[in-house]
């Protein structure tokens, strides 16, 4: 396992500056957010000029990109075109994991299975693995449903955000059943009442998570995903989390 951080830990500054901050905090790997809304890059920009996107994502200040988070806002045909472009970007920059959000609650199950099958098929052409994000308000807010989706879509994996199962409707109950599907992991500290609290004030059992993942030979990133907060020193929180995770691996 390696310790990484998401670029949105410094979402309020440009990508190059965010990457430099991570280097200054002694991180060595990064997950880059390619979101149409609020990302450091936009999927529409990647599709419009793939070569430029590749150039941007190769200038990482010695950080190793370990995942791209892709969130597309486009009609169906254009949606798949933009996703294919992001997969080409992944291949060109030697990134294996692409994180995607699940459909919102209320989406027909069969429609979501069809969408995910198409994404996995597009990804497989470029040697990319699709990791479906666990998230409250979406179909993966229930671990059992996340597992059923993986069982119905061959090759689909999970991007596990434990905070969503601790603070969300799942209420901190066990989510061990998703562990064998985990391709990527996002971490912050969390309580049942607040999605993000200062490191050490929450209920995330980092050591237990690492032990559970080790059972399934997980050897990918432990990605710090702490959003900037007005009541916390972001650099200090990022440094504490890095040291904590490094002590576990």
86-134: pLDDT as tens digits: 999 999 999 999 999 999 999 999 999 999 999 999 999 999 999 999 9
Residues whose CB is less than 8 angstroms from the CB of residue 67 and which lie 6 or more positions away in sequence, other chains included? 4, 31, 32, 95, 96, 97, 98, 99, 131, 159, 184, 221, 223
Architecture, CATH, for domain 2-248: Alpha-Beta Barrel (3.20)
Contact criterion met (CB below 8 Å) for 8 and 30: no
Q: For 194-215, write each residue's pLDDT tens digit.
A: 989 999 899 999 999 999 999 9
Cα–Cα distance, 234 to 188 (Å, whole number): 12
Q: For 18-45, write each residue's pLDDT tens digit.
A: 999 999 999 999 999 999 998 999 999 9
Alpha-carbon distances, residue 136 vs 9, 142, 162 (angstroms)? 20, 8, 11
- Dihedral through CA 104, CA 109, CA 114, CA 119, nearest 10? 40
Residues whose CB is less than 8 angstroms from the CB of residue 249 and which lie 6 or more positions away in sequence, other chains included? 1, 2, 3, 210, 222
Which segment of 39-43, 169-173, 204-208, 217-221 scores lowest on mean pLDDT? 169-173
Mean pLDDT of 162-177: 88
Cα–Cα distance, 239 to 236 (Å, whole number): 5
Closest CA relative to residue 225, chosen from 1, 17, 33, 15: 33
Cα–Cα distance, 54 to 7 (Å, whole number): 16
Give percent above pLDDT 90 in the chain: 86
Q: Where are the domains of the chain?
A: 2-248
Q: What is the mean pLDDT of the chain?
A: 94
């Amino acid at each position: 396992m390696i310790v990484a951080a998401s670029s949105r830990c410094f979402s309020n500054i440009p990508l190059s500056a965010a990457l430099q901050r991570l280097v200054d905090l002694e991180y060595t790997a990064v997950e880059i957010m390619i979101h149409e809304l609020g990302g450091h890059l936009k999927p529409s920009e990647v599709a419009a000029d793939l070569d430029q996107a590749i150039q941007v994502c190769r200038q990482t200040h010695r950080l190793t990109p370990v995942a791209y988070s892709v969130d597309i806002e486009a009609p169906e045909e254009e949606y798949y075109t933009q996703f294919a472009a992001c997969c080409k970007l992944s291949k060109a920059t030697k990134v294996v994991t692409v994180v995607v959000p699940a459909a919102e609650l209320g989406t027909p199950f069969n429609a979501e299975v069809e969408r995910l099958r198409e994404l996995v098929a597009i990804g497989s052409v470029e040697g990319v693995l699709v990791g479906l994000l666990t998230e409250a308000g979406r179909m993966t807010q229930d671990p059992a449903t996340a597992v059923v989706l993986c069982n119905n879509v061959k090759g689909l994996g999970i991007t596990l955000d434990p905070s969503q199962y601790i603070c969300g409707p799942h209420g901190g109950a066990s989510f061990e059943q998703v562990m064998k599907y985990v391709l990527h992991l996002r971490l912050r500290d969390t309580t049942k009442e607040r999605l993000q609290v200062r490191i050490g004030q929450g209920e995330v059992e980092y050591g237990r998570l690492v032990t559970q993942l080790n059972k399934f030979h997980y050897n990918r990133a432990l990605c710090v995903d702490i959003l900037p907060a007005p009541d916390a020193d972001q650099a200090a929180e990022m440094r504490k989390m890095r040291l904590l995770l490094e002590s576990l691996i």
